[in-house]
Structure 1
Amino acid sequence: MKNRIVIFIAVLFLSCTPKPEKIEYGLDTCHYCKMNIVEKVHASEAVTKKGRVYKYDAIECMISDSNEVSPEKVALYLVMDLELPGDFIDARQATYLISEAIPSPMNAFLSAFKNKTDALEAAREHKGEVFSWEEIRNKKLLE
């Protein structure tokens, strides 16, 4: 009997562990704008402390959705590195670029980089402005 209870508690605990989900490009829809998620370079996710995953077609959608997905409830904010799309990076550690030379799905021209050096180089090349996570969260991205 004790073994069953221990197993039940372990399964319950592991099922609520916050972790990202694979995005099914072309099938999954953005939680914020309801568009299909088709671009790997701008996809993002917010994962709550209870393990619920919210998928977004653009970083600006994830940031703008904080009214429904309260930052206090979020365990993970994840974005794609513009240079290496396909694997999520921690949005809180990323560096952000706004450049009209690099369109994003909702036309905020927002991209993320794992390395600040890459973001600064892209800003020089594409005439853009670089932001930290805190700076970009405080910026009005979608009207």
Structure 2
Amino acid sequence: MKYTSILLISLLILGGCKIDSDPINYGSDACHYCSMTIVDKQHATEYVTDTGKAFKFDAIECMMNDLKDTNDTKIALFLVNDFENPGQLINGTKATYLISKNITSPMGGNLSAFENRAAADSVQSELQGELFTWEELKKRLTNQ
């Protein structure tokens, strides 16, 4: 009975843990990588570890630089702001990325994320640049 109770309590505790984003407090949260205050709602990002700890970044390029020294197998969520919906975090692994010299990002990487390829294609047709998937971008910027 004692072991059954311990097992049930453990399962309840573990089952109740939900990995989720931690809202970015624009104007007060600092970038984990460069320590700049996060103010840009079109380019801010965060990742959340499998233990629920959130790391926030002022730009996608800061997150990618941080990933060079991070074991990303321990990351449960990659979240990026949707360029067309500032302040709305989307799944970074499913986003389409645009590097365009005509869109300035906080750290000068000119890197923006879009929830879907059609939106990225539309902005690219107007502002030029190069499109990437998550895996292509990660390979290009982190050498992984």
What is the TM-score when the length of structure 1 is the normalising length?
0.88
Which residue number corresponds to residue 90 of structure 2?
89
Give percent identity, aligned residues only: 44
Kindly tell me the number of residue pairs found equivalent between the two proteins: 140
What residue number does 2:73 align with?
Answer: 72
Secondary structure of 1:87's match?
strand
Q: Assess if the C-alpha contact under 8 Å between 2:46 and 2:56 holds in 1.
A: yes
Shift of 1:69: 3.0
SS state at 2:137 partner: helix
| Matching residue's letter, 2:105 | S
2: CA distance between counterparts of 1:119 and 1:67? 26
Structure 2 CA distance for aligned equivalents of residues 4 and 134 of structure 1: 42
Output one character per residue of 1:41-88: Cα deviation in whole Å (capped at 9) or x when no partner. Answer: 101011001111100000111111013432111010000110012221
- 2:60 is matched with which residue? 59
Residue 51 of structure 2: aligned partner:
50
Q: What CA distance in whole angstroms lies between the structure 1 residues aligned with 2:132 and 2:122?
A: 13
Amino acid paired to 1:45: E
Give the root-mean-square deviation of aligned CA atoms: 1.9
- Spell out the pairing of 1:1-143 with structure 2 (5 A cutoff): 6=8, 10-11=12-13, 13-15=15-17, 17-140=18-141
Long gaps (5+) in structure 2: none
